[in-house]
Amino acid sequence: MKRVRERLADWNRDNPEQPIVVKMPDVWKKVREMGKDRTQRIADTAPKALRAQMREEAAALRS
């Protein structure tokens, strides 16, 4: 973690016009995403109109 914080501080110092700000809710969201399997992540990021169809196809493949 120390190295990551140092790299972030270096980036923000070298790029003051584009600072990176890490927010805990964003970190928690990424952690939740990491717990999902590949097909679930893909289905969740698909356009809303295609989500149900993708979930059905993924379920059929698992069966």
Q: Alpha-carbon distance 18 to 45, whole Å? A: 26
Residue 38 has pLDDT above 80, yes or no: yes
For the residues 40-51, what does the mean pLDDT come to?
82
Write the DSSP string, 24-52. HHHHHHHHHHHTS-HHHHHHHHS-HHHHH
Q: Alpha-carbon distance 52 to 8, whole Å? A: 39
* C-beta separation of 55 from 43 below 8 A: yes
Residue 58 has pLDDT above 90, yes or no: no
| Range from 10-14, 23-27, 32-36, 58-62 carrying the lowest mean pLDDT | 58-62
Q: Residue 16's pLDDT is what?
A: 96
Average predicted confidence (pLDDT) for the chain: 89
More confident residue, 19 or 46: 19
